[in-house]
């Protein structure tokens, strides 16, 4: 394995690698959804396809799949520091129990797929639920690849090797796209099944095989996987993972709720909510998730060393820097929501009506991205301190409080109500999480957060309004084809927003400029010289 894939990275390069990975992964996710929307639009078939992921994703969440590396990395650090033999014995025991657990749950879900389909999409007709069960049975075995692969990924993260984990989602999404296109032309009667078989192949190749091969490489550090089911560290691992397994927070259930409650609305609602959320998650992934993933190994090391000052400084910088990028980006995306959805999706069977509806959903969802940024990074601050109970209990409380909102707002406002419920839920969860942090660890890591947010809102709003007006002017005044007009609107609105925002930031918020935007621009100039 080439050294570029196996060498350890520092925080800066690691953040860039993960940001590039998330960006490319989100881009490929958009391509995937573009292919789906082009061939199938937003209707009953796409609703069934997107609903097919509710139960498999829930099983993944139930075993803390979304945060699996987070729970494993601190313990791997601890036992490998004791000795190589002790580290490998703990890793092997955790790995085999994960394989047993995920395989058992996936097999049970496969057997009871129809009953689970009725629970995950209560608004679907019986024949649609039957087809949904068939879709679920294709992708359920993929779960047996994700979590064992996450064990190997955790090992790579512990070694601060980010390149291979950055490739896994690209392979996964690529297989889905290829599977869908190949089946559409070679097996036209199969409907959307090609995308589902692509999920299975992508999970096996990208999520399991690639990290395993990378971890086993001698240049990476090697892999010693033994047949071992006992280790004293398993109890600590279970205690860390159990809250994540039992407490399903709004962060991991938001997408599932959109699909479950979207199924109670008009036909195509599940699909439109999914398309809008896909766009909203681009800035969340590129900025917030990348910063959280890249900073976590360093936060875990600082916490393990007892360096509280260094920990607070690192966490605070990650929070402030993420907000400095994601808030103005979200405002521009709100202003350009309609041409953005038109350019990406409005072709084939995706109509102008679908564009109008999904762009409204996108605007509502973009209101949550600042909260996503804070909770993604702050949550990892808890995990680095080996505290999984607090964020999970906090998230579970927020979920219970907001669960009726999904139903009530969905009944009153349709898909827009479901999207609004998601945004309000994220806001509540983030507020509660910040409150709990200050109670447990003090306010040093959150210093300047409210002031920075206020400045960013004050700078972004007056720049977003002219950008939005410009989009409307181009659409209504220039005789352009829909896609050409959308591309021009996006370019013009982006330039308009930047031309207003950057001078305002430098003039009215020099500290913000110096700490974030000015630094980014200076590094960009240095890289191009």
Q: Where are the domains of the chain?
A: 3-527
pLDDT confidence of residue 528? 43
Q: Is the whole-model pTM more than 0.85?
A: no
Q: Which residues of the chain have pLDDT under 70?
A: 1-22, 61-70, 219-221, 242-252, 515-529
pLDDT confidence of residue 205? 92
d(CA 427, CA 447): 19
d(CA 58, CA 223): 30
Closest CA to 262 of 360, 409, 395: 409
How many residues make up the chain in this entry? Answer: 529
pLDDT confidence of residue 493? 95
pLDDT confidence of residue 523? 41
Any idea what the Cα angle at residue 315 is, between residues 309 and 317, rounded to 5°? 100
H/E stretch holding 278 reads helix 269-283
**What are the tokens at 464?**
């977003």
Give, in order, the Cα–Cα distances in Å from 458 to each of 196, 412, 496, 506.
45, 32, 17, 14
d(CA 491, CA 117): 43
pLDDT confidence of residue 527? 39
């Amino acid at each position: 394995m080439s050294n570029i894939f196996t060498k350890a990275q520092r925080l800066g390069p690691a953040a860039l690698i993960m940001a590039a990975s998330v960006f490319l992964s989100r881009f490929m996710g958009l391509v995937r959804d573009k292919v789906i929307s082009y061939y199938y639009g937003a209707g009953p078939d796409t609703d069934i396809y997107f609903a097919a992921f509710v139960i498999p994703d829930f099983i993944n969440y139930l075993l803390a799949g979304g945060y699996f590396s987070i729970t494993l990395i601190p313990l791997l650090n601890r036992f490998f520091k004791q000795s190589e033999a002790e580290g490998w014995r703990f890793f092997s025991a955790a790995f085999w129990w994960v394989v047993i657990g995920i395989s058992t749950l996936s097999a049970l879900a496969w057997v009871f797929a129809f009953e689970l389909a009725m629970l995950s999409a209560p608004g679907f007709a019986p024949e649609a639920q039957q087809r949904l069960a068939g879709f679920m049975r294709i992708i359920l075995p993929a779960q047996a690849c994700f979590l064992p692969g996450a064990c190997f990924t955790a090992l790579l993260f512990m070694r601060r090797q980010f390149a291979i984990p950055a490739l896994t989602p690209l392979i996964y999404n690529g297989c889905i796209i290829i599977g869908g296109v190949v089946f559409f032309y070679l097996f036209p009667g199969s409907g959307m099944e090609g995308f589902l078989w692509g999920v299975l192949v992508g999970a096996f190749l990208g999520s399991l095989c690639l990290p395993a091969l990378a971890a086993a490489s001698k240049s990476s550090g090697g892999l010693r996987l033994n047949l071992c089911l006992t280790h004293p560290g398993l109890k600590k691992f279970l205690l860390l993972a159990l809250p994540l397994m039992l407490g399903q927070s709004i962060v991991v259930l938001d997408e599932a709720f959109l699909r479950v409650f979207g199924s109670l609305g008009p036909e195509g609602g599940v699909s439109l909510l999914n398309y809008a959320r896909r766009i909203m998650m681009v800035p969340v992934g590129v900025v917030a998730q990348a910063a959280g993933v890249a900073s976590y190994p360093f936060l875990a090391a600082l916490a393990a060393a007892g360096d509280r000052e260094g920990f607070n400084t690192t966490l605070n910088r990650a929070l402030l820097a993420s907000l400095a990028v994601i808030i103005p980006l979200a405002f521009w995306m709100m202003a350009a929501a309609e041409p953005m959805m038109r350019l990406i999706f409005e072709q084939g069977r995706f109509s102008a009506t679908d564009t109008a509806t999904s762009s409204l959903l996108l605007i509502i969802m973009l209101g949550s991205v600042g909260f996503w940024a804070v909770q993604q990074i702050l949550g990892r601050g808890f995990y680095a301190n080996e505290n999984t109970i607090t964020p999970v209990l906090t998230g579970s409380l927020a979920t219970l409080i907001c669960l009726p909102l999904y139903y009530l707002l969905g009944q009153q406002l349709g898909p827009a109500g479901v999207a609004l419920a998601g945004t309000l839920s994220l806001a509540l969860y983030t507020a509660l999480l910040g409150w709990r942090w200050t109670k447990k660890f003090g306010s040093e890591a959150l210093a300047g957060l409210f002031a920075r947010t206020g400045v960013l809102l004050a700078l972004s709003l007056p720049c977003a309004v002219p950008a939005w007006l410009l989009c409307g002017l181009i659409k209504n005044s220039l005789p352009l084809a829909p896609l050409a007009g959308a591309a021009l609107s996006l370019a013009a609105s982006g330039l308009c927003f930047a031309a207003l925002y950057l001078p305002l930031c430098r003039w009215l918020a020099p500290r913000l400029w110096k700490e974030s935007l000015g630094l980014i621009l200076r590094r960009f100039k240095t890289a191009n010289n």
